[in-house]
């Protein structure tokens, strides 16, 4: 079978596809780069590297929300979504300290001027000085404070017996968590240690249209923090 005829890339004369050089001008008859085996090897390795990097960055929980760090200097242990978990902060040498925190994830809904009862996830973190609440709209968009001033929030907590307590909280400028501090910390801790299902309703102090609703089980919390 005669070889397929192609045009020389240099002079345009017809030459056999398997010819090493053009008999007319002497130019090399090289294969297109996409027909060379090493070209496809590079493509495969490149795609594999991108997919591997994407997997490492996509550190998600079972409900699709991003894993939340309890603090900048906290251990990286992942929170157990079925119960409260106690962990310890680390110091500047990355060594465990005696300072503990307990955490638990939750799901719920949020509403604002553009959404009603849309998916919400988050994490409640308790330590000896504060209670932090991290919120994620649609399981991935973290609620933050973009303003240059602290943003106030009102928190209503309802126990299974129907009793309701109110708390004032805030999110610092450029912050990524709602903070309960001061004397309210111990009061809220005592409510949480009662056990059972506890409902949280949180809204911006000056904008009740934006609100967050979730329920969390406080069972076994008392056994962990005393």
Q: Give residue 33's pLDDT.
A: 55
Q: Are residues 140 and 218 in the same domain?
A: yes
Q: Are 48 and 39 in contact (CB under 8 A)?
A: no
Q: Is residue 76 part of a domain?
A: no
Q: Is residue 47 part of a domain?
A: yes
pTM equals 0.65
CA distance 43 to 46: 5
Minimal CA–CA distance to 90: which of 71, 105, 103, 104?
71
Q: Give residue 57's pLDDT.
A: 44
Q: Is residue 73 part of a domain?
A: no
Banded model confidence at residue 69, pLDDT cuts 50, 70, 90: very low
Residue 171: give the domain boundaries. 85-225
Average pLDDT over residues 2-22: 71
| Overall number of domains in the chain | 2
Choice between 84 and 201, residue whose per-residue pLDDT is larger:
201
Q: Are residues 114 and 205 in the same domain?
A: yes
């Amino acid at each position: 079978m005669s070889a397929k005829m192609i045009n020389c890339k240099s002079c345009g004369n017809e030459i056999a596809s398997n010819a090493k050089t053009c008999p007319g001008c002497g130019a090399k008859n090289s294969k297109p780069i996409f027909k060379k085996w090493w070209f496809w090897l590079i493509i495969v390795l490149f795609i594999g590297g991108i997919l591997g990097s994407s997997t490492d960055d996509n550190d998600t929980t079972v409900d699709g929300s991003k894993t939340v760090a309890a603090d900048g200097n906290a251990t990286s242990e992942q929170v157990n979504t079925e119960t409260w978990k106690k962990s310890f902060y680390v110091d500047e040498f990355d060594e465990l300290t005696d300072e503990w925190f307990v955490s638990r994830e939750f799901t719920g809904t949020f509403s604002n001027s553009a959404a009603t009862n849309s998916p919400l996830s988050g994490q409640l973190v308790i330590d000896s000085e504060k209670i932090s609440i991290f919120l994620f709209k649609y399981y991935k968009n973290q609620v933050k404070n973009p303003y240059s001033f602290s943003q106030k929030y009102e928190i209503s907590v309802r126990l299974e017996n129907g009793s309701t307590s109110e708390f004032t909280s805030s999110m610092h400028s450029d912050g990524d968590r709602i903070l309960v501090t001061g004397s309210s910390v111990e009061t809220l801790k005592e409510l949480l240690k009662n056990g059972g299902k506890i409902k949280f309703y949180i809204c911006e102090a000056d904008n009740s249209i934006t609100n967050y609703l979730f329920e969390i089980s406080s069972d076994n919390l008392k056994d962990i923090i005393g």
